[in-house]
Amino acid sequence: MQGNGEGLVSGHSTGRDHAPLAASLAGRLRDSGTPEHIARLFARVPRHRFLPDVYWTEDRTRVDWTEDPGNWLRTAYTDQALTTQRDDGRDDGMGVPTSSSSAPGVMARMLTAARIEPDQRVLEIGTGTGFNAALLSELLGARNVATIEVDEALTETARTSLYTAGYTPDIIVGDGEQTPRPASVHRIIATCTVSRVPWSWLDQVRGRGRIVTPWSPTPGAPGGVLAVLDTDGSGLAEGAFEGSLAFMWSRNQRRPEGASPATDTHPGHVENGTGDPREPWLDGEEALLLSLLMPDWAFGMRRKPGADEPHVWLASTRCGSWARLHADGRVEQDGDRLLVQEARTARQWWRSRGEPGVDRFGLTVDRAAGRRRCGSTTPGTSCGPPTGSSPETPRALTAAVSGARCWRASPHAGKAHYGSVARCPHGRPSRSWTTSRNRSGPRKQRGRRLGFPHRKSPIRLPNRGFPLRRRSRKTA
């Protein structure tokens, strides 16, 4: 184990002992279900030694060590994300958060999901403050930890904090999506959101490893999910989403792919309603689910000069379709895809299935797939509005929430597609499903590649380095 930094000079002489605060934080994590071997890391690694003199809390409160050292230290050991950089370090920006020390509860959740075993080597994408790299070094020893950061200034600050606290992992300056890295690893943990899981991550993971990353289907979207992907060494990675979470975007993917429609662009379709049509997109959870149900589109907010409130814009990433939704009930659309109608159909379908959460969906990344479906129309239709008088099921989710049998997913060209943990609509298992479990009988293993589980208690399967969870056979 590494040193925990006690007794080292950090420049933050608050006159208070941080140990009780760290122990209290670890206790709260333990009480919330964090495994003991993960929770105790937060008692041993001093979080405050990886924070700058000034940071911002989740409610954007500015916390300055020079003004109130005691409050600065107490806040450092709360379970919340603390913004440590804004506007990529520029002084003339708008105050947009661009780097942070993640909430300890989220960090513990990701470390737990990674199922790290002794002597495994871990690569962290996004060093940030260096606190997570310190936790990994405490868990595995610094020789088994590598961390990469694209921002050179952040890298040097993290390097100083890590070395001062007694941790010496391999610290690399570069693009975590493209920069060649040393020897292969067993686990990759990304601390930034992506919508395109880089092929290089699959190349980097050794054999049957695991990638844990925040992921969102819409580039630049404010929310995302935790994707836990198991690799098989052949360029395939897939797994279930383990709840929602929000991280800052990878700098290569932070901009939406769809072009925001100009405020003066004339629409081909206009309708007036009584409610606020922006409502689903102003709710982070619902906007995320709509993104899962309607692939190949982007959204955002924009204010027209002279308008009292901003409007929500939608744009297809596959064609020129767009929509604007205004607070006064106006809906303006244009293009081959009527995006608002697609969203209404998807929302109605989602509600008719009992409003399943994001943990009922999963992600597959496969080099060999070679194709991508629009995912929002009936089979045989590419990037067009639903047809017919009755609501139709979005194509990508035809199988959703009807059971737990196979994955219907296929990415291409580095951009991952997604499907649901559901019964195969074609009446046969997908090619990635080769292990099944029947509650009333023994497990049957049909081959080396394993099916990816749903949610239940851990089981250990042969020739795997980490436990999986049982897959539920119940229907929704």
Residues designated as active site: 102
- Measured in residues, the chain has a length of 476
Give the closest residue to 372 by CA, choosing from 416, 321, 336.
416
User: What are residue 299's DSSP bridge partners?
Assistant: 314
Helices 284-293 and 339-352: angle between axes, nearest 10 degrees = 100
**C-alpha to C-alpha distances, 156 to 98, 175, 190, nearest whole angstrom:** 16, 15, 19
**C-alpha to C-alpha distances, 301 to 95, 225, 245, 256, 277, nearest whole angstrom:** 17, 21, 21, 12, 13
